[in-house]
Amino acid sequence: MEEERHSLEKVWRYVASLVALLGALAALILQIIDWRQDVEKMRYVSLAPFLIFLATALWFARQAWAKRQEKRLWMTLAMLFIVSCGYAFLWGIWFEPPKPGCRTYDIRITAPLTGALIPGGETEVRGTLHGKPPEGSIVLLVRLPDGSHNWPQGAPLQVDPVLGTWRGRVALGGEPLQTHLVAVAYLGRSGRILVDYFFKVGRETNGWPSLELLPDDVEICDEITVHR
């Protein structure tokens, strides 16, 4: 009876250890996925396992030197050199922070649907994104179907990074049935300056001429066709 109890306790210890190991592994994988959303943070987090490997390799090399095990010493140094070069390559290439833009935040329009008829010429536009773009970096544009004229929309977008959603409003000009493109765009530095100047001139002159040329750092993330 006593032996059976000890055997059962041993089994439960094994099960508990396995569950704890799997839980820790799952937590680590999820944490790494979260870190990868911030590449700069990922670069510095990756230093921890590299420094642990570096210290371990140097300890083995020192032991091999003390025991005059030349073959083991050279193997350890070769592995240390290869891993260090590989890590340096990953630090400079793979861990290079990407340029912020539409792809970084996966900015999409979900409503209204393309082809929708908008009564009254004004409507709410909603969409999804990942992460939290810099304030003022996302704007809604109303465009002619050929993209030759663009009107940034003044109502600031309401972004919820927790739910991964955004929403804003657009005003559609022209006579019914006028066709427009409604686009969500990511603005770089030049794009923000241009849009700020557009609103400044519009408020001062009470006129809203279109922007015919957009800077190269204005990236159209998604767009739909609607009818007024």
Q: Using one digit for the tens of pLDDT, what is the confidence trace for 144-163?
A: 988 889 999 987 788 988 88
Q: What per-residue confidence (pLDDT) applies to 11? A: 66
Tell me the pLDDT tens digit for each residue of 5-45: 566 666 676 666 666 666 656 655 655 655 555 556 666 66
Picking from 49, 116, 110, 112, the residue whose alpha carbon sits closest to that of residue 83 is 49
19's tokens = 């569950």
Where along the chain do the CATH 2.60.40.10 domains lie? 102-227
Would the pLDDT of 101 be above 90? no
Report angle CA 35, 90, 103 to the nearest 5 degrees. Answer: 55
Residue 171 has pLDDT above 80, yes or no: yes
Residue carrying structure tokens 């409003």: 169
Contacts of 224 (CB under 8 A, 6+ apart): 109, 112, 113, 114, 115, 116, 181, 182, 183
Mean pLDDT of 111-128: 90
45 vs 143 pLDDT, higher one: 143
Q: What is the CATH number of domain 102-227?
A: 2.60.40.10
DSSP element (H, E) containing 76: helix 70-89
Please state, rounded to an integer, the average pLDDT across all residues of the chain.
81
Q: Judge if the upstream peptide bond of residue 133 is cis by omega within 30 degrees of 0.
A: no
Q: What is the pLDDT of residue 20?
A: 62
pLDDT digits (tens, 9 = 90+) for 48-57: 777 787 788 7
CA dist 4 and 202 (Å) reads 85
Q: How many Cβ atoms sit within 10 Å of the Cβ of residue 112?
A: 17
pLDDT at 193 over 80: yes
Please give the Cα distance from 182 to 145 (Å, whole number): 9
Residue 132 pLDDT greater than 80, yes or no: yes
